């Protein structure tokens, strides 16, 4: 498994295991999944306080039998800010949320804390106070955001002193808005509409690592595009490349993300240890520029 720099702050596996659905497994099977990830070279694990109401964090710690010797092998990221029916980036909530995650994860520090989606009522001064307290106390070592555009990030950066190392964004072969706008500049076509404020280029300019979530999904949790009859041309193209390179279609889908020079870190949420092994083979797959664009076009995108 190749390593990449996360926001210039820490080195981690270029693929991360997302733990949102880990509670669907037994404790034994969860342990198998996590240990398979470690064996494959994944050392970065993504959580959020809302996943299964906090039970995903608990399951993770219990399944791996969290203790110092184990903890030092892991890079743990969690997120906070989503509450029942609203978002909350208040100082009080951020501090309480981190304490809750620390308790559930049975650790005394979080490697990366992300603000989970934007809170339109954010008071960046409060976020700055919370971040400073968490950093000085040693509870959180690095900070970032999810689903935020450049102006929202700049608003935070005006007040927080810590570098924002990551931005978790929905991105897959079938969810390419932040790619489309850069390809269709100065065009009067649907793909030219900028919904994200050039977030891809912004993150590259400011050394913020993009973490694609739902890398196998199309729409907003509408389903997976692999082996889906709705996308025959795309699957035909992916399957052809998978056969040529001796890997599965899941590896090709992730390799497509890894090929981008932005050096993204996909978050894969599989609960199958065998599928995770297949996915990890993406780290050794090199797609050529023509192959990358062939997949992009097969997904229904037209080049100018």
The span from the CA of 59 to the CA of 294, in Å, is 41
CB neighbours of residue 262 within 10 Å: 18
| Token pair of 4 as six digits | 């990449």
CB neighbours of residue 185 within 10 Å: 11
- In the block, residue with structure tokens 């995903």: 56
| Token pair of 255 as six digits | 């390799």
Q: Using the 8-state DSSP alphabet, how is residue 172 labeled?
A: B
87: Cβ–Cβ under 8 A, 6 or more apart, which residues? Answer: 81, 116, 117, 118, 119, 120, 121
Please confirm, yes or no, whether 51 is among the known catalytic residues: yes
136: Cβ–Cβ under 8 A, 6 or more apart, which residues? Answer: none
The span from the CA of 181 to the CA of 183, in Å, is 5
**300 class by beta-carbon count within 10 Å (0-12 exposed, 13-18 middle, 19+ buried):** exposed
The alpha carbon dihedral of 89, 56, 146, 175 has a sign of: negative
The span from the CA of 119 to the CA of 83, in Å, is 11
Q: Using the 8-state DSSP alphabet, how is residue 87 labeled?
A: E
| Token pair of 157 as six digits | 């950066």
Count CA atoms within 13 Å of residue 36 on its CB side.
Answer: 19
The span from the CA of 288 to the CA of 295, in Å, is 11
Nearest to 123 by CA among 147, 86, 163, 92: 92
Q: Which of the residues are catalytic?
A: 51
């Amino acid at each position: 498994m190749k390593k990449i720099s996360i926001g210039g702050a820490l080195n981690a596996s270029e693929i991360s295991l997302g733990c949102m659905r880990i509670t669907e497994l037994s404790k034994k099977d969860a342990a198998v999944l996590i240990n398979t990830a470690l064996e494959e070279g994944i050392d970065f694990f993504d959580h959020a306080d809302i996943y299964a109401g906090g039970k995903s964090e608990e399951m993770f710690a219990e399944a791996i039998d969290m203790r110092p010797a184990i903890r030092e092998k892991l890079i743990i990221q969690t997120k906070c800010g989503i509450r029942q029916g609203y978002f909350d980036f208040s100082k009080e909530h951020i501090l309480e949320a981190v304490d809750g995650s620390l308790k559930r994860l049975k650790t005394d520090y979080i490697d990366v804390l992300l603000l989970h989606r934007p809170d339109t009522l954010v008071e960046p001064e409060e976020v700055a106070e919370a971040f400073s307290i968490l950093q000085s106390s040693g509870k959180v070592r690095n900070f970032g955001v999810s689903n935020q555009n450049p102006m929202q990030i700049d608003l935070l950066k005006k007040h927080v002193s810590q570098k924002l190392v990551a931005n978790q964004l929905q991105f897959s072969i079938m969810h390419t808005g932040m790619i489309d706008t850069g390809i269709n500049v100065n065009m009067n076509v649907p793909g030219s509409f900028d919904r994200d404020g050039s977030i891809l280029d912004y993150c590259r300019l400011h050394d913020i690592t993009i973490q694609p979530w739902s890398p196998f999904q199309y729409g907003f949790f509408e389903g997976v595009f692999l082996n889906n009859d709705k996308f025959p041309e795309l699957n035909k193209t992916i399957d052809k490349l998978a056969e040529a390179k001796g890997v599965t279609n899941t590896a090709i889908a992730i390799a497509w993300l890894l090929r981008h020079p932005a050096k993204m870190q996909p978050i894969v949420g599989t609960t199958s240890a065998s599928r995770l092994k297949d996915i990890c083979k993406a780290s050794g797959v090199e797609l050529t520029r023509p192959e990358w664009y062939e997949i992009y076009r097969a997904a229904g995108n037209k080049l100018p």
